[in-house]
Structure 1
């Protein structure tokens, strides 16, 4: 993402989604800017590999992150970001990390929609905040809450049935990270690791020919565990299809 000035999106101030809730963690000082977007939403070509999900999740209140990207394991993390200018609210914006981006010593490059939410609900105040371009902020990680959604895995559009399988993890709730994905190799009777290609995308050049049993390593600040979807990926999987894991992370 490239930081940019975009005054056409000054009025994109929407109600905060109830999907994200508060955390008791302390705030960390940082800096934030925003990127140009014709409709104030995110970008479908972000480094996390989310596609359209990365553009519209959390109603477009998304962000590119730098050090918080953590080689892709930071994709999908949720943050409360609030600025310290007089034009800013005490609540700030609640955002989802969907891309990698570096600005002027910034941790966050926000969508215009998210950047506007840091401002007082007044067009003049919002315009002033956009005029700064880069602002001092403080942030903390908060749990993601996706009402009505379990952890979902999507067969990436670049998958080529039956020889190449890539999946991307969506709707990771709570303050969890997906740090590894494995599939069951029946003839070897062992779990085989999938490669993290980039962001939230994992792949294998030799997927099993039948149903594909997957498991995901879920990590948090002081531990990790493996979780397995209730149903395997069907043998006739298709590129672009999404599958509900029946796993609820919160």
Structure 2
């Protein structure tokens, strides 16, 4: 049976305490899975100097500016992006160059950084948007900070916060009563997703959805009978196993391409 990071740390802590050994191995994680201490990482930046990086990205969120995501985002390398499971995770980042401000900048993972000086390594790395790297700078020093190009940074995993915004589902184009594909957006708390299940009207149980790509999940019809909505959606977070059920999140007669906001949000 697969053991989560939190469960592993809990068992290890107990074992080390019984032996009277130091327990610093898991000391950077709170019980909820978020980092209590700063971790060492690397960063670069891409896109326009004050922009959102790229319009789109490997998570599928498309437009970011003027949405609850905003332009301060990052593409993560494999340890951060995790094949798409890391989409939506939130971090705080900061640097220690003369042009860096002391306060951290909050970012959201919306894309994948597959190559380059840092992103091709096995060490955690972030390719920050221009807006994010500029926000890390002392006022008036953003150009100086951007010119450095390659950065040693500190980062920590933090809860995602979307004030006055619940989890939303964007039904993908081409979806029908026989094939339902949706993109999960604006999930608070852990932000990342371990699994998605969907319950159709008339069914007493949830059916597991298949991870499509990025933050996209799909429910394939195997019965030959059309799905019937409205649809309930169950999400389990990857970081700490927190679970939420969005009842009647997608109407029976949904419009492909449309975004539907639920009435629930994920706990921290």
TM-score, normalising length from structure 1? 0.80
Output the CA distance in 1 between the equivalents of 2:68 and 2:117: 26
Out of 235, 241, 247, the residue aligned to residue 252 of structure 2 is 235
Cα shift at 1:111: 0.7
2:206 aligns to what SS in structure 1?
A: strand
Pairing 1:91–2:103 present: yes
2:37 matched to which residue of 1?
26
What residue number does 1:177 align with?
Answer: 192
User: What is the distance in 1 between the residues matched to 2:47 and 2:196?
Assistant: 34
Paired position in structure 2 for 1:152:
168
> What's 1:127 paired with?
143
Root-mean-square deviation (CA), in Å? 2.4
1:223 aligned to 2:234? no
Give me the whole-angstrom Cα distance separating, in 2, the residues matched to 1:185 and 1:90.
49
The alpha carbon displacement at 1:39 in A equals 6.1
Gaps of 5+ in 1: 1-22
SS in structure 1 at match of 2:70: helix
User: Quick check: 2:75–2:113 contact (8 Å CA) kept in 1?
Assistant: yes
Instruction: Provide, for residues 17-60 of structure 1, a one-character-per-residue CA deviation record: whole Å limited to 9, x for no partner.
Output: xxxxxx76111111111112386123232110112248854431
| Residue in structure 1 matching 2:206, options 191, 195, 201 | 191
> C-alpha separation between the residues in 2 aligned to 1:24 and 1:71?
21
Between the aligned partners of 1:144 and 1:112, the Cα distance in structure 2 is: 20
Q: Quick check: 1:140 aligned with 2:156?
A: yes
- 1:204 paired residue among 200, 207, 219: 219
Cα distance in structure 2, aligned partners of 1:46 and 1:98: 6
